Amino acid sequence: MNTFIKGGVCAAKGFTASGVHCGIRKNRTKRDLSLIFSEVPASAAAIYTTNLVKGAPLTVTKQNISDGRAQAMLCNSGNANTCNADGIEIATAMCECLAAQTGISANDVIVASTGVIGEPLPLEPIKAGIPELVGALSSDGSLLAAEGIMTTDTIVKEVAVEFEIDGKICRLGGIAKGSGMIHPNMATMLVFLTTDVAISSEMLSLALRRDVKDTFNMVSVDGDTSTNDMVSILANGLAGNTPIEKPLRDYHTFKKALNAVTVSLCRLIAGDGEGATRLLECKVNGANSIDDARTVAKSVICSSLVKSMIFGADANFGRVLCAIGYSGVEVDVNTIDVSFVSAKGRIDVCKDGHGIPFSEEIAKEILLEKEIEILVDLHQGDAVSTAWGCDLTYEYVKINGDYRT
């Protein structure tokens, strides 16, 4: 059983975190450099963007954790360090600066950057800020670290759970950034996860890869996949459980805890989409296969017309059917049911692929709530999937029209 607790990335034993303003961002009230640190070396795993254009930090991180080990996570905001001639050099130097200050190996650092693409990232403010960053490490520092990785985010995103493995109390927590350039197959998000569970890097990587398919790969805000997306996790083993080295019972307990945290972060990311006013969740039931269910759910979530419909609180279910129809999945359109659900209740709008009488007034009340569920039942099989997104608003265009300037 997973119990949600406070603490974010510092909930697990042996982890501290911090966040400071070092000068990458012009606004001195905004933190722009974050650190998560394990008191002992940890198993490490990460998943990266599928975009062929990748930020330099991802290349460095992939090399650093090729041995399945790391001890720190370092991230700056305000500059993506992408498409820069000296990008690899700067990302490597960031690791070296942290190593010099902490005494760990530069190869044991997961490094990340987020912000504007194509602008040189100056090393000087980062190098000058790292002593303060390390000195500020605290078991209460998760919130500060979460603030330091934000760009257009409007809310801090942190979650943690407590659970039991092998008779030991274990914890797993995470922080995330993500608001725009969010699209399935790793969206513009940075997610940092920590746990005190003892687990091999092989099992940790397996759990993360499998989880991402049904969580972070099922989030879409605007259809753009970024260059710097990464989900990374450290597991330092300080909970004292018998190490998980095979995909047996304890592995599955761990995987459920991981999923509880990642689903919560997905909802926070989708609900904080740039300019968004509503969190949108599409639940697909009755698909022939899990791949079909995922594809249909993502097609609905990614539809600009569906997203605009939600913004206008207009129960135009035809747009949902349209998105299902062009998803590429072979479905019998004459068996599809569609309903809308929120805190105001549920309204059925489509049965067997056809519209049914419903109250437009009640439908509007339901769709004006902050969190909206679109329920789709294909009645073709037993597979289910869920995707998350948000509405498409005027504010999204405003934010991205002058993002760089």
Rounded alpha-carbon distances, angstroms, from residue 314 to 13, 51, 302, 346, 363:
48, 34, 17, 15, 8
> Inter-axis angle of helices 304-311 and 290-302, to 10 degrees?
60
Rounded alpha-carbon distances, angstroms, from residue 32 to 28, 126, 156, 199:
9, 9, 14, 32
Distance CA 269, CA 222 (A): 12
**Ramachandran category for residue 63: left, alpha or beta (phi over 0 → left; psi -120 to 50 → alpha):** alpha
Respond yes or no: is residue 188 known to be catalytic: yes
> Which SS3 state, helix, strand or coil, does residue 176 take?
strand
CA dihedral 359, 364, 366, 369 (to 10 degrees): -170
> Inter-axis angle of helices 249-271 and 201-214, to 10 degrees?
40
**For the chain, what's the residue count?**
405
Give the CA angle between residues 207, 210, 215 to the nearest 5°: 110
- Catalytic choice (16, 49, 114, 188): 188
The residue type found at 41 is: P
Distance CA 108, CA 208 (A): 19
End-to-end CA distance of the chain: 48
List active site positions: 188
